[in-house]
Chain A
Amino acid sequence: MEFTEKHVEGLKDLLYRMADDLLILGHRNSEWTGLGPILEEDIAFSSMAQDKVGQSLALYEILHELGESDPDTVAFTRNDFQFHNCQMVEFPIGEYDFSLVRHFFYDHADALRFEALTETVFEPLQMVAKKFKGEIKYHTMHANSWLKQLANGSEESKIRMQQSINELFPHALGMFEPSNFEQELMESGLFIGEAALQQRWLDTVVPLLESYGYTVPTDAAPLFGGRKGVHTEYLQPLLDEMTEVFRIDPSAEW
């Protein structure tokens, strides 16, 4: 079918959501570098943070081909209200349980989103989705192993993890905030839509959490806003820090 302007707008919005989530969470998770609980985990978590920034670059490059500014400009010169990331990814890293649960919630959504996009009619995105399949599979394996481990670690580890699950669940649902282009994305075969994605995500994470022995909050209401540029007080300071070096000389060649 012919793409109208609204289809392209919807596609760009989808790409910005994904790329901004990855950039912001990648940056957040990299704050653990050097502070991870043990050396092996420090390396693994840092490496996955790097993967996320790399994935965001691939998506910003597609956006560039669609007429948006180049990746560096897009990543380093926008203010918080211009970012389409969900609020969950911008919160400070907190304690390790918080970061692990966020990683579990986010990476399962990321895996399912990319999996759905291996069937998008937009070929460049289909290629990227296929390219990162193995990388993302490892991220979910890592998250699953830790959630299982800490459910059976000590009484303290289980309580901490459960508290982070309860705290983050409404924010996790916020990942699936509908866009203004749901209809266009679905009818054109560009994307399955946020509602369908959320259902796939629930069908994946709820049985996993229950099998590890956690309780899943049933009365959680999604916390929206991020996708429309409404952010918490934590995003702008993150952007200021992330762009500190870039801003010294925006025209510098790296």
Chain B
Amino acid sequence: MKIVSLDPRVTRENIDAETLEGELQPLDHFETYEVFEQRKRGTHHVHVGNVHAPSHELAMVFAKEQYTRRGQCVNLWVVRTSDIFVTEYMDSDIFETTATKKYREPDAYKVIDRINAFKAREAAKNA
């Protein structure tokens, strides 16, 4: 059976429907790269999406066109998706425990009264 498409250019190619079946080979798809954009020099790069590409050079070329056309951008990073290490969502409870450990946060220390007292003393001294 031949592929019949609404696009006559595809139909003209006379492609066998059978040959399209079966498992994908490694080269059938390019791997993905994650794209990070920097809006202003000195600020953090922010993740904006990903692109398929056969190399980091082309990933950069594609990323420019996919993600920076309408915005301001001064710098791009691309990183192979497989080079990013991630936590499992099933382990997301590891983040919950911090909420109960108030003493680990700077505002947990009750120093503001002492700071205010110090300021009042200094003000009185200079008055």
Min CB distance B57 to A, Å, is: 5
Assess whether A38 is in contact with B65, with CB atoms less than 8 Å apart: no
Bits for B83-119, please: 1 = Cβ < 8 Å to A, else 0.
Answer: 0000000000000000000000000000000000000
The A-B contact count (CB < 8 A) is: 35
Pick from A39, A141, A153: contact of B61, CB under 8 Å:
A141
Residues of A within 8 A of B30 (CB): 38
Assess whether B52 is in contact with A145, with CB atoms less than 8 Å apart: no
Most buried by A among B9, B53, B60, B65: B65
Residues of B within 8 A of A40 (CB): 51-53, 62, 65-66
Assess whether A35 is in contact with B58, with CB atoms less than 8 Å apart: no
Interface on A for B, CB 8 Å cutoff? 35, 38-41, 43-44, 47, 138, 141-142, 145-146, 148-149, 153
Interface members, chain B 58-81 (any A CB < 8 Å): 58, 60-62, 64-66, 69
Min CB distance B50 to A, Å, is: 10
Min CB distance B25 to A, Å, is: 12
Q: A40-B53, A40-B66, A153-B54 are in contact. Are A35 and B61 (CB under 8 A)?
A: no
Residues of A within 8 A of B11 (CB): none
Cα A43 to Cα B70 in complex, Å, equals: 14
- Nearest chain-A residue to B50 (Cβ)? A40
Cα A142 to Cα B58 in complex, Å, equals: 7
Pick from B9, B55, B66: contact of A43, CB under 8 Å:
B66
Q: List 12 A-B contacts (CB under 8 A).
A: A38-B52, A40-B66, A41-B62, A43-B66, A44-B65, A47-B65, A138-B64, A141-B61, A142-B61, A145-B60, A146-B58, A149-B54
